[in-house]
Amino acid sequence: MATMAVIDFETTGLSPNRGDRATEVAVVLVENGKPVRRYQSLMNAGVNIPGRIQALTGITNDMVAAAPAASAVMREVSDFVEDFPLVAHNAAFDQRFWDAELARVKRNRRQEFACSMLIARRVLPHAPSHKLGELAAFAKLPATGRFHRAQADAEMAAQLLAYMTKLVQRDYRIRDVDHDLWCRVQRTPVGALQQVLADY
């Protein structure tokens, strides 16, 4: 099974198009469902973190003031990720920031994102919620740290992906549940999932 890079950002807000910037990034490289390497760093983009975001994440202006420049972090994390396919929970959010921060250092994303939230909506349709923390509780996954910190959330998303991989392997007898399959799953209507997996 190919390596996948599970990524998470903490940011100053919801959209880089509105001037929001990343404050922290973490990546867990996963092989055969197991973490093999990790990257984490706070990042200083030279912007103020609103009080409500500081309260949510625990990341303060003083913390990022002492952190490496966002440009240096993005070059480093981009080198770390290489061309491994990407996974994130609510990937539309992380993809926006990954692309925007990469563009600032004149780099472009070459690989597709798979979204563990969209996948969970199909593989775990009976979960009471598809937020990361509530899915972790539903699946009885071990705690990885404080939610809304990049490392803990990336670790939790990696655990969730491993959990869903085992379910699909068991229920559909698919030996190699790879990134390509997850991308197919996230695009599949819930009612058609069984047929798509049966045909894979």
For 99-155, what is each residue's pLDDT tens digit?
A: 999 999 999 999 999 999 999 999 999 999 999 999 999 999 999 988 899 999 999
Of 57 and 146, more confident: 57
Mean pLDDT of the chain: 96
DSSP string, 117-138: HHHHHHHSTTSS--SHHHHHHH
Q: Does 93 score more than 80 pLDDT?
A: yes
Identify the CATH assignment for 4-199 out of 3.30.420.10, 3.30.465.10, 3.40.250.10, 2.60.40.10. Answer: 3.30.420.10
C-alpha torsion angle, residues 95, 38, 20, 45 (rounded to 10): -140
Q: How confident is the model at residue 199 (pLDDT cuts 50, 70, 90)?
A: confident
Task: Determine the pLDDT at residue 2.
Answer: 83
Q: How confident is the model at residue 191 (pLDDT cuts 50, 70, 90)?
A: confident
- Going by C-alpha positions, the residue among 86, 78, 80, 87 that lies closest to residue 106 is 78
Tens of pLDDT, residue by residue over 10-24, are 999 999 999 999 999
Sheet containing 86-88: give its strands across.
34-42, 22-31, 4-11, 86-88, 113-115
Task: Tell me which of 65-79, 90-104, 109-123, 182-196 is least confident.
Answer: 182-196
Whole-structure pTM value: 0.95
- Going by C-alpha positions, the residue among 185, 149, 173, 117 that lies closest to residue 8 is 149
Query: What average pLDDT score do residues 15-34 get?
Result: 95
Cβ neighbour number for residue 101 with a 10 Å cutoff: 24
CA-based end-to-end distance of the chain: 15
Q: Does 171 score more than 80 pLDDT?
A: yes
Of 9 and 190, more confident: 9
Task: Determine the pLDDT at residue 1.
Answer: 57
Instruction: Give the Cα-Cα-Cα angle 51, 152, 122 (nearest 5 degrees).
Output: 105
